[in-house]
Structure 1
Amino acid sequence: MKVEALKMERQGDFFEYCKKHRKELDDSFLYDEDLENFKADAENPTYIMTDSNGQIKGAASLILDDYHRRGNRARFRIFHCASHDDHDYKRLFEALLKHTMSLDHVFLFVPLLNEKLKVVMEKLNFDMERYTFLLVREDLKVRELAIPKGYQIKSFRPGKDEGAWCLVRNAAFSTLKGSETAITPEMVAKMPAESDYLDGGMMILYENDEPVGVVRGSDDEYEGSPIMNIGPVAVLPEYQGRGLGRVLLRAAIKFSKEKGYKRCVLCVNGDNEQAKALYLQEGFEQTEGVVCYRYELK
């Protein structure tokens, strides 16, 4: 078996390999659109493992964009070997290590049902960092928003509200595992141009004229049918515990129903017990889970 950097002429074969195996993996960055816009470069170092006939039997690719670099980390887009052999995985991983010299760690999510890959991660000395769960709400019956006096929800205004969005999101997630790295106004400014953007789906909660919470609803697909993805749901730390997260969540569900969706989906860290309890109370049910594995480079 040969390990080599992905070349342009083999990108089509790489895409087909990703599509073939993505159901076994965390497919967050393996949707058709992601692959269509993918290019192996410094931000996406990628290696393939091929047999004597040149057939791809394994693939490993890192996401090293500006956001992840600012957090001194890289996330795997894909890490998979058809052989499920830990030695094959090790060879692919070692090929990628030359691209991680300035980083603190690399990480990936593994579905809880993928026992083979979980065993490999442990053999490669990856540490289990946290669990993340996928929750779905099938019934979009709208519950009363009950916005407290002095508060109001406004739609996000492109070109004006990027700073307010970052202020709330970054403060709310500054200690949340996996989301500690701050986002920038430039990142938020790109959201309205993304294919999953829903006009009116980004909302900001204000107390008087001060932004204190944000929520976003975006277009997604789950189990082959359309669904609205809710996230982030964020409230400034000093405003938490006042029921404002529930207000934002219900506003997003109301928006989802108005847009014609039948279901909503969201993700939550397993150690964020308060948020998970809220989502369960609001009619969401846990459907899937993944474990985040982390490899320390320093």
Structure 2
Amino acid sequence: MRIVYLEEERVSDFVSYCKKHRLEVDDSYLYDFDLREFEVSDENPTYLALNQQDEIIGTASLVMDDYHKRGKRARFRIFHSEIVDIQCYQQLLRAVLKHTTCLDKVFLFIPVVNKKLIEMIEGLNFYVERYAFLLVREDLEVPEVDLPECYELRTFRQGQDEENWRKVRNASFSTLKGSETPLTTEGVTKLLTDEDYLEGGMMVLFHQEKPVGVIRGADDEYDGAPIMNIGPVAILPEYQGRGLGRSLLRASLRFAKEKGYKQTILSVNGENERAQALYIQEGFKQVEAVVCYQYIL
């Protein structure tokens, strides 16, 4: 076995490997459109483990974009080996960590059912940071959206609401593990050009012209079928506890029905028990659980 840096001529082999194994790992950065746009760069340091036949038997690839680097961390796009051998993982980790000199940690999510990978990761001195849960709602009836007086929910206005979105999202998530890094205005603009963007799916809640909440519905796929992904759902801290999150959620669910989606999906941080309770009350059911492991540099 040898460990090599991913070169341009082997990107298609790497993509094929990711598609082959993405159901075994967290696939957040392994969707078809992500892999189509993948390119060898400093933002995507990637190593391959090759056997004697020069076939890929493992890989470690980091996401080191501006958002993650501002939080002084990197997320694994994929960390996986076809051979259950701690030495393979050790060599891949050692190679990819050469690109993380200015960071504080690297992290990855693993489905809790993948016991073998969890055993390997814990053997490398990764530690549990948090849990997250994936919830799905079937095509059920959606109650009316009931907003209090002086509140108005508007479709996101490109060129006007970027700063509103940024402020609400950042204030709402400032203390939530894994989401503390502030989103930039440029990051909000990128949401409008992502392949999963749905026209009208981004909404901003105003209270007497003050932006107090945001929600986004995006195109996604689950179990081979179209589904709308809801997130973020964010309310300014001083406005929480007034039922506004429920109203935002119902508005997004109604938007999904209008677009013809039979299911909606969302992810919730395991620490956010209040949000979990809200989603279950509104008809969502947990379908998956993942654990976030971190490696302190």
Which category of TM-score, normalised to the shorter sequence, fits these structures? over 0.9
- 2:288 is equivalent to residue 281 of structure 1: no
Kindly state the Cα deviation for residue 183 of structure 1 after the two structures are TM-superposed. Answer: 0.5
2:70 alignment partner in structure 1:
70
1:219 alignment partner in structure 2:
219
2:257 alignment partner in structure 1:
257
Structure 2 distance, partners of 1:171, 1:81, is 39
Matching of residues 1-298 of structure 1 within 5 Å: 1-297=1-297
Kindly state the Cα deviation for residue 246 of structure 1 after the two structures are TM-superposed. Answer: 0.3
Structure 2 distance, partners of 1:26, 1:200, is 28
Deviating above 2 A after TM superposition, structure 1's stretches of 4 or more consecutive aligned residues are: none
1:24-55 CA-partner distances (Å, limit 9, x unpaired):
01011111111111012100000000011100
Tell me, yes or no, if the aligned pair for 1:140 and 1:257 is still in contact at 8 Å: no
Tell me, yes or no, if the aligned pair for 1:139 and 1:283 is still in contact at 8 Å: no
Q: Name the aligned partner's letter for residue 231 of structure 1.
A: G
TM-score by length of 2: 0.99
1:240-265 CA-partner distances (Å, limit 9, x unpaired):
00110000000000100011111100
Q: Name the aligned partner's letter for residue 57 of structure 1.
A: I
Structure 2 distance, partners of 1:73, 1:84, is 27
Structure 1 distance, partners of 2:221, 2:140, is 16
Structure 1 distance, partners of 2:251, 2:30, is 30
Tell me, yes or no, if the aligned pair for 1:3 and 1:47 is still in contact at 8 Å: yes
Structure 2 distance, partners of 1:79, 1:40, is 17
Task: Specify the SS of the correspondent of 2:159.
Answer: coil
Kindly state the Cα deviation for residue 195 of structure 1 after the two structures are TM-superposed. Answer: 1.3
Point out the more displaced range, 189-198 or 246-255: 189-198
Task: Specify the SS of the correspondent of 1:193.
Answer: coil
Task: Specify the SS of the correspondent of 2:29.
Answer: coil
How many equivalent residue pairs?
Answer: 297
Kindly state the Cα deviation for residue 140 of structure 1 after the two structures are TM-superposed. Answer: 3.2
1:115-163 CA-partner distances (Å, limit 9, x unpaired):
0011111110000011100000003311121111110100001111100
Q: Name the aligned partner's letter for residue 156 of structure 2.
A: F
Unaligned runs of 5+ in 1: none
Unaligned runs of 5+ in 2: none
Tell me, yes or no, if the aligned pair for 1:140 and 1:253 is still in contact at 8 Å: no
Q: Name the aligned partner's letter for residue 220 of structure 1.
A: D
1:41-87 CA-partner distances (Å, limit 9, x unpaired):
10000000001110000000000000000000000000001102111
TM-score by length of 1: 0.99
Point out the more displaced range, 250-259 or 187-196: 187-196
Q: Name the aligned partner's letter for residue 256 of structure 1.
A: A
Structure 2 distance, partners of 1:185, 1:140, is 35
Structure 2 distance, partners of 1:64, 1:188, is 18
Structure 2 distance, partners of 1:39, 1:88, is 24
Task: Specify the SS of the correspondent of 1:3.
Answer: strand
Tell me, yes or no, if the aligned pair for 1:43 and 1:64 is still in contact at 8 Å: yes
